[in-house]
Structure 1
């Protein structure tokens, strides 16, 4: 249950960050990269906050 909540929150963070980056640059590859970096970077933080 804990892992599912962490990954779900990371996906939401990645989607929001990717969407904001797309609105800023109008570049799909930059938005995907920003979303993946945000989601990947958020997992350890979320694991400590929620854990």
Structure 2
């Protein structure tokens, strides 16, 4: 049971997710600015987020 004092995520997990979200937003923005339709830009950002999670999980010790 969670007592309210323990963090929900470790610092490592929070950093991995933060960096991955930033990569996904960046990739989606670049795709949208490159005249891709909105659905393609969202899917590009989602794919970059997933790749970012895998990359940063392997990279960050």
**Alignment of 1:8 onto 2:18:** yes
Kindly report structure 1 stretches of 4+ aligned residues shifted beyond 4 Å. Answer: none
**Alignment of 1:48 onto 2:58:** yes
TM-score, normalised via structure 1 length: 0.92
Note the C-alpha offset of 1:25.
2.1
Change (3 A) 1:25 1:46: same
Give 1 or 2 for the bigger CA radius of gyration: 2
Q: What are the ranges of 5 or more consecutive residues in structure 2 without an aligned counterpart?
A: 1-10
TM-score, normalised via structure 2 length: 0.78
By relative contact order (CA 8 Å, sep 6+), the higher-ranking structure is 1
Of Structure 1 and Structure 2, the greater helix share is in 1
How many residues are matched?
51
RMSD: 0.9
Question: What does the per-residue CA deviation read over 1:1-51, in whole Å, with 9 as the maximum and x for residues that have no partner?
Answer: 100000000000000000000011241101000000000011111011112
Q: What are the ranges of 5 or more consecutive residues in structure 1 without an aligned counterpart?
A: none
